Amino acid sequence: MDLKLNSYPAPSDYFGVLWGLSGVDDLLVLEHGSTGTCSYNVVNYMIMNKQSPKGKLFSCGMDEDDVVMGREDKLKRAVEELDQTFHPKIIALVATGVTSVIGLDLDGVIEEIQPRTNAKLLSFASGGFAGDYTWGIKEVFRTLAMEVAEESKDRKPFSVNVIGPAIDSFNNVSDLAELRRLLKLLGAEVNTVFTCHTSVGGIESMASASLNLVTRDVGLEAAQILEDRFGIPYVYGLPFGIKGTVEWLEEVGERLDLYLEMGTLASELERYGFSILELTTPLQRCDHLRAVISCPYDYALGFAKLMRDEWGMNPPLVVLPTEPNDPKFEDELGRFGVSDVLIGPDTSILEEEVFRIDPHVIFGNSYDLHIAKEVPIKMHAAFPAFDRLYRFDGTPFVGFRGHAYLTQTFVNLLNQNPEVFRN
């Protein structure tokens, strides 16, 4: 049995709901649970680059009598107080484990009090029993795409929505800055980011965009809903490495009828396209280096592609926190040299695999890097990252600048650990 002393269990859908909602301005989250649960969640956000949502999260303050009697009074009063005090556009009623156990009907409560509430009320009733955190994020995306996005009279020809980033997305500040920069090179602009760094108004206006860019698999269902409702097509994937970024720009440009000028591409390659061969000596070969990648699927796929296409490495092992939506994910990773995939392994199993592979390089979260403390080259690539901050917008992993940053960082680590070339 794994007690998770050196790791952590996959967060439940309850946390995914909170993370999916936290980046939306003009939206308040009201937990139907105890005050202690709400206080704990504020602390829980701190493992994600200290991104505690101020003035966002509220509790109706259930006590033992409310649980035993199944009372709804505090929830109704809390909705009324938030509505009259803060005047939000949306109040999201979020069930906790207690709510689900006692069987409170949040939709029934909303049906009763919505007529006298100015804010739009939404319910998220899974309470932590539906699955892992990806289920909660998908529930938020699905609900907002169905119930908040509105029909638009005008379609902006070169406008896109970015679907996928939420407060739990690693390095999203820098990656979003690079995605915006790449789109600007094409002549396109971001309409809204769904759901990090956005607003209720931004979500309402999603149908005015001409294309949706899906950056992680949890956003695919919402993108399909938006295509079905409004006819907006979507492109799925992240631009990792030089080759991957050029391919991504070509695909996005083709969908928008925009094309990157050759002079612009040449300038980008001159500034950010330096290869690992330019930064290393002939004695610093990388094709023998063994790597372990431990992060969510879309990042893992991007890293595997980057390592093969740009660094000449084939990572033998990828560790994913949850099973991806793509049923062919193993084949997709296998295209880039990945021979083994673990999904949410116990700490002991992960330790055994790391010992077996004896990698030179590991990309992972803070727990992974602690487990692999004997591995010479370690890079943060996932949350939780409680011992490393990624709030500055100049350290992207994606795009041309991401290639330059990762390659430079990797070579610096190689130079600091010359023994890897003797293994």
Please provide the DSSP assignment of 3-71 as one string: --SSS-PPPBHHHHHHHHHTTEETEEEEEES-HHHHHHHHHHGGGTTT---TTTEEE----HHHHHHT-
Please indicate, yes or no, whether residues 344 and 287 belong to a single structural domain of this protein.
yes
pLDDT at residue number 307: 95
Please indicate, yes or no, whether residues 372 and 333 belong to a single structural domain of this protein.
yes
Please indicate, yes or no, whether residues 246 and 320 belong to a single structural domain of this protein.
no
pLDDT at residue number 54: 65
Give me the chain's average pLDDT, please: 89
Distance CA 156, CA 150 (A): 15
Residues contacting 348, CB < 8 A, separation 6+: 2
- Residue 170, in any domain of the structure: yes
As a dihedral over the C-alpha atoms of residue 49, residue 140, residue 293, residue 181, rounded to 10 degrees, the angle is -70
pLDDT at residue number 68: 45
Distance CA 271, CA 265 (A): 10
* Domain end call among 93, 114, 141: 141
Please indicate, yes or no, whether residues 308 and 337 belong to a single structural domain of this protein.
yes
| Torsion sign, CA atoms 360, 364, 368, 373 | positive
Number of domain units in the chain: 3
Please indicate, yes or no, whether residues 17 and 121 belong to a single structural domain of this protein.
yes
Please indicate, yes or no, whether residues 244 and 325 belong to a single structural domain of this protein.
no
Q: What is the rounded average pLDDT of the residues 325-333?
A: 94
pLDDT grade for 129, boundaries at 50, 70 and 90:
confident
Distance CA 121, CA 141 (A): 15
Residues contacting 280, CB < 8 A, separation 6+: 286, 411, 414
- State the amino acid at position 317 in one-letter form: L
pLDDT at residue number 4: 46
- Residue 152, in any domain of the structure: no
Residue 114 has what DSSP assignment? Answer: G
Distance CA 46, CA 49 (A): 6
* Domain end call among 113, 141, 169: 141
Q: What is the rounded average pLDDT of the residues 202-210?
A: 98
pLDDT grade for 64, boundaries at 50, 70 and 90:
low
What number of other Cβ atoms are within 10 A of residue 355's Cβ?
Answer: 11
Q: Residue 228 is part of which domain span?
A: 159-270
pLDDT grade for 16, boundaries at 50, 70 and 90:
very high
Closest CA to 198 of 269, 138, 148: 148
Please indicate, yes or no, whether residues 114 and 42 belong to a single structural domain of this protein.
yes
- Residue 153, in any domain of the structure: no
Please indicate, yes or no, whether residues 169 and 203 belong to a single structural domain of this protein.
yes
Please indicate, yes or no, whether residues 282 and 376 belong to a single structural domain of this protein.
yes
Helix (H) or strand (E) holding 328: none
In the chain, % of residues over pLDDT 70 = 88
- Does residue 402 carry a pLDDT above 70? yes
pLDDT at residue number 227: 98
Which pair of structure tokens corresponds to residue 267? 């300038």
Q: pLDDT tens digits for 232-254?
A: 999 999 999 999 999 999 999 99
* Domain end call among 229, 247, 270: 270
CATH number, domain containing residue 133: 3.40.50.1980
Q: pLDDT tens digits for 357-369?
A: 999 999 999 999 9
